[in-house]
Amino acid sequence: AQSVSQHNHHVILSEAASLELGCNYSYGGTVNLFWYVQYPGQHLQLLLKYFSGDPLVKGIKGFEAEFIKSKFSFNLRKPSVQWSDTAEYFCAVNAGTGRRALTFGSGTRLQVQP
Amino acid sequence: DTAVSQTPKYLVTQMGNDKSIKCEQNLGHDTMYWYKQDSKKFLKIMFSYNNKELIINETVPNRFSPKSPDKAHLNLHINSLELGDSAVYFCASSQLGTGSYNEQFFGPGTRLTVL
């Protein structure tokens, strides 16, 4: 069964600091990878996704993620965070095509201090 | 226009009651899901329907019964509510099929509190 690990549970940064959130998955086949963001009291919104092609994907709000197949990783990055990036971030995996739900990581709470 | 909507947004009820949560999507997707987010923010799939057919049924108490009257709606009925059912329930939808990548769109969530 597929699983997703997010090792950073709570990250506190100052504005303008750079961000990298780790995500590792366990599945040997083709995967589709996603990062979702949940702002306080809101629903999940898609930040970015990887299906195939260029392993460096760019998403909304200046976020990007790099798929490294050999490391089973899909880390999320942002060069300079803002206070408005304070939220919960979820990495999710779908094992290729087929009738499968997303498997989510446990989430990383990002707190950006002004 | 809201893509995936849920009602109600908040639900407070007593233990032992029966309640329903409704979900509707106007994206034309063929697959809908229910996820449960617990107090630690962990999200876990409960059910999924594809074209009104149940395709995912995770280890969930049989007090939970999903119903999909058509492709655009997926409701969740919960019998004999327990304290542990308190959580946020998210509905989602996606378009499956040949070559699809299962990008899911989420509703705003229903915060269920069982007293």
A99 contacts in B (CB within 8 Å)? 31, 48, 50, 55-56, 96
Q: Is the dihedral of CA B22, B4, B15, B85 positive or negative?
A: positive
How far is A94 from A82, CA to CA, in rounded Å? 30
Residue B19: its pLDDT value, please?
Answer: 97
Q: List pLDDT tens digits, range A23-63.
A: 999 987 788 899 999 998 888 999 999 988 999 999 999 99
**Could you tell me the pLDDT band of residue A72, with boundaries at 50, 70 and 90?**
very high
**Coil, strand, or helix at residue B90?**
strand
**CB contact A42 to B (< 8 Å):** yes
Enumerate the residues of chain A whose CB falls inside 8 A of the CB of residue B96: 97-99
Burial of A109 (0-12, 13-18, 19+ CB in 10 A): middle
Average predicted confidence (pLDDT) for chain A = 91
CB pairs under 8 A between A and B: 59
Q: Is some CB atom of chain B closer than 8 A to the CB atom of A10?
A: no
Q: Determine contact: A106 vs chain B, CB below 8 A.
A: yes
Strand ranges in chain B using DSSP code E only, listed in sequence order? 4-7, 10-13, 19-25, 31-37, 43-50, 53-57, 64-70, 73-78, 87-94, 105-106, 110-114
Closest residue in B to A44 (Cα) is B106
Å between B75 CA and nearest CA of chain A: 17
Q: Which residues pair with B37 in a beta bridge?
A: B43, B88
Cis peptide preceding A79, ω within 30 of 0:
no
Count CB-CB contacts under 10 A for residue A1.
6
